[in-house]
Amino acid sequence: MARIALVTGGNQGLGLALVRGLSREFGEDGVVYLGARDRGRGEAAVRGLEAEGLALRLELIDVSDGESVRACARRIADRHGGVDVVISNAAARISKDVPDERQVRAFVDTNNHGTHRMIEAFGPLLNDGARFVVVASAFGTLESLDPRLHALFDTDRMSLDDVADVMNRYVDAVEAGRAAAEGWPDWINVPSKVGQVASVRVTARQWAEEAARRDILINAACPGLVDTDASRPWFDDMSQAASPDQAAVDVLWLALLPAGTREPYGELVQYRKVLPFKASL
């Protein structure tokens, strides 16, 4: 049976490299959907990969729009019945020239609530043996946060709605100018990544019994520093940054773990190693 894959944010950077890698891996034995929110950019990306001899399809999906995500899931379900690989990669950018209070809401809505929307819409479509990967960051551990905030991310007990509530309260704090006093870090990317990894951990806990029975894995991936338009403004030295195609290799390893693999499960993984969410005692 043909394998089915979807990569969101697939028209540029790491997402495009992930689509390229999956298309090469699947060949004629699968269907890879390049997910993009802009039709023109998506079609241009598809043409570019087709010029490389690869076969893929465009799917319009905007993770900041719940109906767009659900509609994409319905279309894939109608065509194929399910999906084997989902890489939730779409992310909003942060601008250095825009105050945090003016961009944090849209940023969290795309990166965090978008992750939530993808899990809720595509979780029910996962075939036996499926792999679900959320592209996050090494910043997504509790070590990145003030200890005062650790209890907010008790992933052993909270629900996805609880994670969403924490992130909404964080947005409110940034917009109201309270974030620093509450212990939140200066860079809005850090709490967002912790929230993404928390969502993966909560989902893994909730899916655990069925996932073990049906050979399903969900994990978060840190691709490391990648040389893209989104990352260049934030790092003075990009000499050690990987190209998108180089960074895609380990993310694809996680998305294509062979049948019967039990670990990692519900973890943040960088360079094929688990980064502990909680500090060891």
Q: pLDDT value at position 254?
A: 98
In the predicted model, what is the mean pLDDT of the chain? 94
Mean pLDDT to the nearest integer, 74-92: 97
Which tens digit of pLDDT belongs to each residue from 123-160?
A: 999 999 999 999 999 999 999 999 999 999 999 999 99
User: pLDDT band at residue 237, thresholds of 50, 70 and 90?
Assistant: low
Q: pLDDT value at position 281?
A: 37
Element (H, E) at 86: strand 83-88
Residue 213 backbone dihedrals phi, psi, to 5 degrees = -70, -35
CA angle (83, 162, 202) in 5-degree steps = 45
**How many other CB atoms sit within 10 Å of the CB of residue 228?**
21
| Residues ≥6 apart with Cβ < 8 Å to 276 | 141
Q: pLDDT value at position 243?
A: 86
Q: pLDDT value at position 238?
A: 65
Domains in the chain with CATH codes: 3-270 (3.40.50.720)
Q: How far is CA 262 from the centre of its chain?
A: 20
Contact 254, 120 (CB under 8 A): no
Mean pLDDT to the nearest integer, 253-264: 97
Cα–Cα nearest to 119, from 202, 19, 35: 202
Q: Long-range contacts made by residues 207-215, C-beta under 8 angstroms, separation at least 24?
A: 207/123, 208/266, 211/265, 212/262, 214/126, 214/128, 214/129, 214/130, 215/128, 215/129, 215/259, 215/260, 215/261
Which tens digit of pLDDT belongs to each residue from 34-43?
A: 999 999 999 9
Mean pLDDT to the nearest integer, 203-210: 98
Cα–Cα nearest to 223, from 235, 196, 241, 238: 241
Residue 57 backbone dihedrals phi, psi, to 5 degrees = -130, 150
Cα–Cα nearest to 62, from 117, 16, 22: 117
Which tens digit of pLDDT belongs to each residue from 5-27?
A: 999 999 999 999 999 999 999 99
Contact 7, 34 (CB under 8 A): yes
Distance in angstroms between the alpha carbons of the first and the last residue of the chain: 46
